[in-house]
Each structure stands twice: as structure tokens, then as C-alpha cells.
Amino acid sequence: MIVKEVAFGNLNEAFIEKRFENKTNIIFSNDNNRGKTLLMQSLIYSIGYESIFPNSFNPKKYYFYSKIEFNNSIFEFLRKGNSILVINNENFNVFSSISEFKYFFDKEIFKLPKIDKNGEQKLVDLSLFYELFFLGQDNRNTSNLIVKGQNNKVDFLNMIYSLLGVSISTSNKYDIENLKKEKAIVEIKIKAETRKIKVIKQNPQIASFISSASNNLDFKNTSNQLKELHLNIAELRKQRNREENRKIKLENLITELSSLNRTLNEGKVKCLDCGSNKIIFSNEDFEFEVSNNYVKKNIIESIKNNISIKFEIIDELNQNIHREQIQINKLLETSTPDIKNYILFQDEITDSKDVDKIIAELQKELDEITNKIQNNEIKTSSNKDLQKDILSNIIIQIKNYYSTIDPQGLLIFEDLFTKTGETYSGSEGQEYYFSKILSLNKILQHKFPIIIDSFREGELSSSKELLMLNEFIKLNKQVILTSTLKDEEYDADKYYDIENLNVIDYSMLADSKILQSDFVPEFKKIIDKFNVEK
């Protein structure tokens, strides 16, 4: 991923930055409030991140654009609200939600990792994924994520493991738990049958009582599991029905848009009030004139792609429902018989030899269940060991980077995050994030740029800053940093003498006024590429 261009604004004010290079870039100014943070947040926001904009800035009023190279292919993104438009090789896509865009990102740009969420393997959220290489200026918390949403730091760690091909398979979240429950039930059955051998000839009523007691225990366990499974299936069906409803609406929309050909060929359609013959397609954030055949064709193709994504989502939900239904059948198959079956079974018992046969079959079943549990536990244990190794390697790298920039530093790293309530502040926080982001880059070998807003915040010393810059440059990949200089540093042309550093000066921008009318004509051309009705 190489950032080529970033822009944001509306028809009254805008800003465009296209001076990025495929090396270490530093955007600086001699004072705060020059718009560096807005630019960084706009970049990552344009591709699906839930950016933390300053309170004085209302993102709902603006469009956010980025031009980015992925695997030698150029993608252009335009976001407004929760909608994202994408242009790639003359292909045009419209996404009305970040969730829809995420599936496109996974399919067409980069295969996103999956993590366990509520017992199912799900694609990670883009905001979680981007925190591997992006660090904003605000809301920093060394003990947790910057943007949490539905995620937490355990999800972040699981995402790292998944990227490295190490994760615990959870195709069915009940597998291990239910195997153990099945084992306990079979053991109870064996004990009950063993006791029957001693009492069956003396008092058949006692044997019946034992069976009934066993059945009651099994019934309670089974009932609780069945209740949970049915609730899960109901929720999955709701999700599937919502997606099916959206798919049908998209299919109907294609029919309506396609029917415009005949309408326009046989006669004009115009507004009764204003006389305009423009026909507008819109979602919550964008409008397009579909009386233009080229625009309409691209809109229809985009909707077809979204329908294809909906099919995949619905198919995945159907598979999840099917797995839950299979689990219900397994529960019903392995449960102890009901009372009626016990009565019938009791009539068939004539002596202890029959019970011996039952115990032998139960013991065979127990052995099979025990083997399944052991195999699962070996797999789980192995994965946990691999996960520990990965985390250990990351911590070692963090310590190495930290000692490079601060040989006398006193920070002790025991985990990827600090303990809850323990947050590094000032320069310590900067050193921690620097070491963490570069360590993840080294371990994962990912192809995304390192993007850090205000990388020297917290009175970081000049010597440490230069050491950091040297490490960034050595990565030999795109890095985008921002920095605010002191007057004496600015006057000394601090960054200009550093080799392989692309320097971008924002000092000439007005205080708190990065958006300017001068950029509007060029920004309109960007909007026009997406055929948006302004």
C-alpha cells in the first residue's frame, strides 16, 4: 500500500495533498493547528477507519478522498458519511456501509484475517486492522485500543496470530465443551448400569429409579444447551433475513434502473415542478444522475457486485445456521432416553448379562469421546504454545527497538499492552508506540505504510527523535509522520539535511484553516470522477 494523494473538503473549501513519496515522509509546521492531524485522520477515514476528528471539525459536511496503490493497482476512494465509492481500472463500486466495504476490501484489495467473535470466525473490523500501522494523535491509551468499538485488546492479539496463520479453530464453539459433557453423561450411564447389575434381580424398581435420575440430569443439561442453540439460530436467521431483504431491494433497484432505457427511448421523463429531465439515484450520502447512460451502467455494475457480496454473506449465515442445527441433532442423538424409553428398556432387562453388553458399548463410546477430547486439547495446547512464542518474539523486538532509542530507559515490557490503568505518558508513550508499531511491522512483514500523527509528542529529545527517524528510513517503505517544531528548530531547517527524508512544510497554512477556496476547482474535478451529483 502506497499513499499517492489525499484530499478532503466540499464545494466551498478543500485541501489536497499529493507530495507523498514511497519513502519516509514528514509533514511538519512551526506551530500547532495547521491541519496535520485533519489530513492524517482524513486519509485513514477515507478507507474505512472510524477516525477521531477534533471537536471543532464536523466530518458530515465533507467528502474524503484518497488515491492509493495496492499491489501495483491504483484505487481511488471517496467517502461521505458511512458510504464509500471506489474506482479501480474503470470499475466503479458504491458501498452504503463500512461493513459492505470491508467485504470488498477483503475480496479485491487485501485478504483480511479472521478472529473468533462470539464463537464464530469473522473478518476483523477495518478500524482494528488499521491499528497495526496507524497511530492517531488523540485518545492514545497504552493499555487498550485507540478505537475500540466492538473490539478489545484480545481481538487485536488474535488478529496478529491469525495473520501469522496461528489460531484456534472454532468451526463449532460447542465442540470441546460438549465432548466433555457427553463424556460425563456416558460415565454417569456406566455407573448407573454397573449398579443395575447388583440390584436388578433384587429390586427392578430401584434400577428404574437410577435410570430416571440419570435422565433428569441429562434433561437439564440438554435443555440449557438446546435453549442457547435455538436463540443463536433465531439471531442468525434475523441477520440472514435482513441481508436477504437488502439483496432483494438491490435486485429491484437494478430492475428499476434497467427499465429506464425503455422509458427514455419511448419518451422523456421530467419533473412536473421544475421541468428537469435528470433522474437521480441516491443513498444516504451520495447522489448520482442515472439519466447519464455511462453513470447508470457503472451504478448497476456496482449494485451487482454488492448483490454478489450479499450472496456470500447469506451463504455464510446459512452455513452457521446449519452448524447450529447439526449441533442440535447431535445433542438429541447423544442424550439419555426419556422416561418412556426407560420403561421399555427395563422390560427388556432379564439378567445382568444384558447390562454387561450395554456397559461394553458405553465404554467403547467413552473411549471414542476421550480420544476426541485429547486430540482437541493437543491442538488447543499447541496453538497456545505457538501464540505464546509469537507474543514473546514481539516483546523481544519491542525491547530491542526501545533499547536502540533509549539505552538507559527504565520501561519494562511484559505484554503488547500495559496493564489496565497503567498508561505511559509523555516521551515514554512515544517510545512505547514507536517500538510496538515497528516490532509488529518486522514480525508481520506487512505491506502497509507506517502512519503516525505527532510522532515526537511528549517532549521527545532531539537525539531520540533522530534515532527514530533513522529506524523509519531503514524500513525502506512508505512512512508518513507529522511533527510540530519549536521556532529554533524550524529556523535551523531541522529535517532538510537528513537523507532519504521527504520533507513537507505546512507552516505557511493559516491557523486552523487548512481548508481553502483555492483548492475547490481541483477538488470538484476529483468529485466529478465519481459522477456524484454535488
Question: What distance in Å separates the CA atoms of residue 210 and residue 336, rounded to the nearest whole number?
Answer: 12
Indicate the average pLDDT of the chain. 79
Mean pLDDT is highest, among 104-108, 179-183, 361-365, for: 104-108
pTM above 0.75, yes or no: no
| Lowest mean pLDDT, pick from 285-289, 399-403, 414-418, 468-472 | 285-289
Phi, psi of 318, deg, nearest 5:
-60, -40
Indicate whether 285 pLDDT > 70: no
Q: C-alpha cell of 68?
A: 492509493
Q: Which residues in 410-435 are b (16+ Cβ under 10 Å) and which e?
A: eeebeebbbeeeebbeebbbbbbbbb
Question: What distance in Å separates the CA atoms of residue 326 and residue 173, rounded to the nearest whole number?
Answer: 12
* Confidence at residue 275, expressed as pLDDT on a 0 to 100 scale: 47
Indicate whether 127 pLDDT > 70: yes
Mean pLDDT is highest, among 209-218, 264-273, 402-411, for: 402-411
Q: For residue 115, count other CB atoms closer than 10 A to its CB.
A: 25
Question: What distance in Å separates the CA atoms of residue 337 and residue 211, rounded to the nearest whole number?
Answer: 9
Question: What distance in Å separates the CA atoms of residue 46 and residue 50, rounded to the nearest whole number?
Answer: 9
Please report, as a single letter, which amino acid is at residue 3: V
Indicate whether 20 pLDDT > 60: yes
Mean pLDDT within 195-207: 53
Angle between helices 352-405 and 426-444 (to 10 degrees): 120
Mean pLDDT within 218-241: 71
Helix (H, G, I), strand (E, B) or coil at 54: coil
- pLDDT band of residue 208 (cuts 50, 70, 90) is very low
> What is the tens place of the pLDDT at every residue in 36-66?
999 999 999 999 998 888 888 889 899 999 9
- pLDDT band of residue 266 (cuts 50, 70, 90) is very low
> What is the tens place of the pLDDT at every residue in 366-394?
877 777 776 666 555 568 888 889 999 99
Question: What distance in Å separates the CA atoms of residue 26 and residue 374, rounded to the nearest whole number?
Answer: 54
| Length of the chain counted residue by residue | 534
The residues, any chain, with a CB within 8 Å of residue 188's CB and separated by 6 or more, are 214, 217, 218
Mean pLDDT within 187-214: 57
- pLDDT band of residue 517 (cuts 50, 70, 90) is very high
Phi, psi of 234, deg, nearest 5:
-60, -40
| Lowest mean pLDDT, pick from 75-84, 192-201, 510-519 | 192-201
Indicate whether 205 pLDDT > 60: no
Q: C-alpha cell of 458?
A: 511528549
* Confidence at residue 125, expressed as pLDDT on a 0 to 100 scale: 92
> What is the tens place of the pLDDT at every residue in 303-353?
777 777 777 777 777 877 777 777 766 665 655 444 334 333 444 444 445
Indicate whether 74 pLDDT > 90: yes
